[in-house]
Chain A
Amino acid sequence: AQSVTQPDIHITVSEGASLELRCNYSYGATPYLFWYVQSPGQGLQLLLKYFSGDTLVQGIKGFEAEFKRSQSSFNLRKPSVHWSDAAEYFCAVGPYGGYNKLIFGAGTRLAVHP
């Protein structure tokens, strides 16, 4: 079955600390992987995406993610968190081509302490 698991429901970090949000997926075909961020009352904003090539991808707002096929993981990282990064983060997987239904994880809510 196709699925995305985000093991951490809530994460709290101090401002300036590093961050890693975990994502594991189960997908039969070649996955196209995404990380989205959602601020309260807002829609989803794409942080980064991965299909092929370099397994370390850079995104907006200083985020990066590393694809590890052997672990079926696509973890999101940021070296130094800012208070404005507090939001909910969603990992998603979809097909490379064709009709692009996205399967989302349940999300990780990030809180940032000053």
Chain B
Amino acid sequence: DAGVTQSPTHLIKTRGQQVTLRCSPKSGHDTVSWYQQALGQGPQFIFQYYEEEERQRGNFPDRFSGHQFPNYSSELNVNALLLGDSALYLCASSSPKTGGTHNEQFFGPGTRLTVL
């Protein structure tokens, strides 16, 4: 059973560019959450997708957007990149259908984004 997978592993962009990160959830999961982890900090919640809709959003600007596909995979898009967007971007999947409402999140290995 494959866990949460993310692509690419690493990415280097320049300021002002746009980037798309991808995530495939763990088998049987239908909910995807995205987190940003800056160097030396804990992960910060960006947003969560369920049934192809954004259900909850953290304190991130509109430059951060996402999408969920019918197969539950998800994309995170960041426009007009800033130096401060350099971070590890983590995807987590979960499912309220498994384990009841104990929404345990399983994390992927992350995508390391460097903005120059």
Contact = CB atoms under 8 A, between A and B. Distances in A.
B42 A43 contact: no
Q: Which bucket holds chain B's interface residue count?
A: 20 to 34
Interface of A: 4, 32, 34, 36, 41-46, 49, 51, 90, 92, 94-107
Contact of B50 (A94, A99, A106): A99
A43 B109 contact: yes
3 nearest A-B pairs in the assembled complex, by CB-CB distance: A104-B42, A100-B103, A97-B101
Interface of B: 4, 31, 33, 35, 40-45, 48, 50, 55-56, 58, 90, 92, 94, 96, 101-110
A53 to B, nearest CB: 12
Contacts of A101: 33, 45, 48, 56, 58
Contacts of A34: 104
Contact of A107 (B33, B35, B41, B102): B41
